[in-house]
Structure 1
Amino acid sequence: MDLRQMRYFLALAEERHFGRAAERLHITQPPLTRQIRALEDDLGTPLFVRTPKGVTLTEAGQALLAEVPNLLSLAQRARDRAQRAGAGLTGQIDIGIFGSGVLEVIPRLLARFHAERPEVRLVLHNLSKAEQLEALRERRISVGFNRLLPADDDLVIETVQREPLHLAVPADHPLAARAQVPLSALHGVPLILYPKMPVPGLAQRVLQALAREGAEPRVEFEVEEVLTAVALVAGGFGVCVTTASSAHLRLPGVVWRPLDSAHLHDIELSCVWRRGDANPVLQAFLEVVRAHARDLRETAAAAQAPGAVSGSEPGMAARGGGKTKGPARGRRA
């Protein structure tokens, strides 16, 4: 039996007349007759009794009629689900997230995607940079978000947005009195270094920039995630250079100040995925990310127009991928 025979059988069983059933199916009568005979041959039993006025169902025909509508309904449901999955409207996407990225932009992207495709299940995995890259190569996640990713031939990296760096300062620290803190002012100041990673990242950039500006900080802690870093600032252990989005962590006793440096610039948040991955759910998600990036570019262009307050957050630009490591914990340096 095939679905076409099921549809032909149902039409004839309901119309009880070959001519009317053929008209309903938008075919001529001979193909309908052939398909019904083929179905009866396949089942090895007559389904209809032919009469001068049309047809009536046999016992076998009655039994089949009880099942066919459900079969056709299930087939249509399967067809619809397959088509929706092929269009990226259903399914699941596994997303690698990290520290400060979940404080602002990633939740907005997830909310926008969920609003557009509510039937897609979003599964989040809190992973370090190295863990995200490993999970991508092992196909345990489809896309990850991170910063300062070096190029990789197997991966595609697109910058989602850039954001300035800020300094988290204990509220009673002398630097808290400044509207903006020059990086050179961190000379001799206790520093909480974030994130602690085995390959170059923000922490290494901060140290390099300090050295170029002739400042020698006193590293008190090295930690692997932003909440620990800001909590240590709240405890008065030192200051921490991190992204502006980290200021969403409103811990008591911490103030946030813009950082001024000729050698330490805005930092990008990027998304990364496997090169050549045509998964329709992933592609739909990337469209949402790119739309977010376009919105940022338009906002930046409007802000830079004559008479507007300047400011920018450039959007997505493709390049390659990279590697790092580790869950959060602090240690005394």
Structure 2
Amino acid sequence: MDLRQLNYFVAVAQTRHLGRAAEKLHLSQPPLTRQIQQLEAELGVQLFKRTPHGMELTPAGEELLRDAQSIRSLVAQAAERAQRVGRGQAGRLDVGVYGSAIFGLVPQVLAAFHAEHPEVELVLHHAQTPAQLPALRQGRVALVFERMLPEEVDVEVELVAREPLLLGLSEHHRLAAQDRVDVATLRDEKMLIGTSPSIAAMTLQLCRAHGFEPRLASPATDIVTATLLAAAGLGVTFVPGSMTSVHFPGVTYRPLQSRVDAYMDLHCFYLRDNGSPLLAALLQTVRAFRTRFAPARLRTRRSGSPGSATGLRSKPRARPGGQVE
């Protein structure tokens, strides 16, 4: 018994007439009659009673009709779901994330995606940076949100947002009373950093740009731990602007007064040859988000391009007459 036979059977059961069923199916009556006879022979039961007025279902036929209608409905639903997944409108999407990327910006991106694609199940996987690329290549995640900027030939990288750096410090710290903290005044402060090489490099560069070597405290496992240690008064730490959306008791954030523009980038990356419609749909949301949170000149940056997840840029100098160079 196959779907074609079930469709033939349902047509006859609904019309109770071979001729009308054949017309509905765009068949001649003899082939339809043979199909019904073959189905009855295969099942070993009589499905219809022939009467002068047409076809009447037997108890076995009534039972088969209920099941056949359920099966046809399930098949139609399966086809529709497959089509929706193929169009990026439904299914499951596994996303990797680590560290401060989970705060502020990524939830906004995922919330916007969910609003547009409510039938897509989003599953987040939190893992440290070294585990993200293997997860990507093994198909356990389709896309990763990270601060790092991988340079792998099979990985495509897109900028999600560029955030200003802030100073995270205890609310009881002497500098917490200031509206803006001059980086040069951090000369004697213990600097808390995570284990990320890019964060450490950024801290060194920023401090050196202001004429001093940072006093590094014991490294924290990640930026969240560094922020919690700062709240305890064990040092200060540089954090991306989106950390202000997270309330840690005892910590406060202050903008930086700096000789250079200091920032931290959020990227997403994925396998270059991944043709998933669900991934494509998420990337559409990411790109729409990027137009609001990234400088125009950076919106198309890809893997292998110059740049890093954190960085410094000299501020423009004013020329006479107020021009900027």
TM over 0.5: yes
CA deviation digits over 1:206-251, x for unaligned, max 9? Answer: 1133224321221123112222212222222221111111223333
- Contact 2:160-2:293 at 8 Å conserved across structures: no
Instruction: Report the equivalent of 1:3.
Output: 3
Instruction: Report the equivalent of 1:179.
Output: 179
Instruction: Report the equivalent of 2:204.
Output: 207
Once the two structures are TM-superposed, the CA of residue 81 in structure 1 deviates from its matched residue by 2.6
Return the letter of the residue paired with 2:219: E
- Contact 2:164-2:264 at 8 Å conserved across structures: yes
Specify every segment of 5 or more residues in structure 1 that has no aligned partner in the other structure, as ranges: 301-311, 322-333
Instruction: Report the equivalent of 1:110.
Output: 110
- 1:247 corresponds to which of 226, 244, 247: 244
- 2:303 corresponds to which of 315, 319, 322: 319
Instruction: Report the equivalent of 1:281.
Output: 278
**Correspondence 1:1-333 to 2 at 5 A:** 1-29=1-29, 32-33=32-33, 35-40=35-40, 43=43, 47-48=47-48, 53-57=53-57, 61=61, 64-193=64-193, 195-197=194-196, 200-263=197-260, 265-296=262-293, 315=299, 317-319=301-303
Once the two structures are TM-superposed, the CA of residue 46 in structure 1 deviates from its matched residue by 6.2
- Contact 1:296-1:314 at 8 Å conserved across structures: no
Give, in whole Å, the separation in 2 of the partners of 1:30 and 1:82: 36
- Contact 1:161-1:314 at 8 Å conserved across structures: no
CA deviation digits over 1:59-94, x for unaligned, max 9? Answer: 764554353222222322322232233233332222
SS in 2 for 1:278: coil
- Contact 1:290-1:316 at 8 Å conserved across structures: no
Q: Residues 183 and 158 of structure 1: is their aligned pair in 2 closer, same or farther, counting only changes over 3 Å?
A: same
Return the letter of the residue paired with 1:276: D
Q: Residues 287 and 34 of structure 1: is their aligned pair in 2 closer, same or farther, counting only changes over 3 Å?
A: farther
Identity %: 42
Q: Residues 114 and 313 of structure 1: is their aligned pair in 2 closer, same or farther, counting only changes over 3 Å?
A: farther
Structure 1 range deviating more: 214-223 or 18-27: 18-27
Q: Residues 255 and 55 of structure 1: is their aligned pair in 2 closer, same or farther, counting only changes over 3 Å?
A: closer
Give, in whole Å, the separation in 2 of the partners of 1:294 and 1:212: 30
Give, in whole Å, the separation in 1 of the partners of 2:14 and 2:43: 20
- Contact 2:162-2:293 at 8 Å conserved across structures: no
Runs of 4+ in 1 over 4 A off after TM superposition: 40-53, 56-63, 312-316
Give, in whole Å, the separation in 1 of the partners of 2:25 and 2:304: 54
Once the two structures are TM-superposed, the CA of residue 30 in structure 1 deviates from its matched residue by 5.2
Return the letter of the residue paired with 1:286: L
CA deviation digits over 1:142-186, x for unaligned, max 9? Answer: 211111313211211111010110111333434334433333332
Give, in whole Å, the separation in 2 of the partners of 1:205 and 1:93: 33
Q: Residues 205 and 13 of structure 1: is their aligned pair in 2 closer, same or farther, counting only changes over 3 Å?
A: same
CA deviation digits over 1:275-317, x for unaligned, max 9? Answer: 21122322222222222223446xx7xxxxxxxxxxx896464
Name the TM-score, length of structure 1 as normaliser.
Answer: 0.79
Give, in whole Å, the separation in 1 of the partners of 2:209 and 2:5: 79
Structure 1 range deviating more: 312-321 or 157-166: 312-321
Q: Residues 212 and 119 of structure 1: is their aligned pair in 2 closer, same or farther, counting only changes over 3 Å?
A: same
Q: Residues 249 and 6 of structure 1: is their aligned pair in 2 closer, same or farther, counting only changes over 3 Å?
A: closer
Specify every segment of 5 or more residues in structure 2 that has no aligned partner in the other structure, as ranges: 306-325
- Contact 2:192-2:230 at 8 Å conserved across structures: yes
Give, in whole Å, the separation in 2 of the partners of 1:66 and 1:108: 46
Give, in whole Å, the separation in 1 of the partners of 2:147 and 2:192: 19
Counting matched residue pairs gives 305
SS in 1 for 2:262: coil
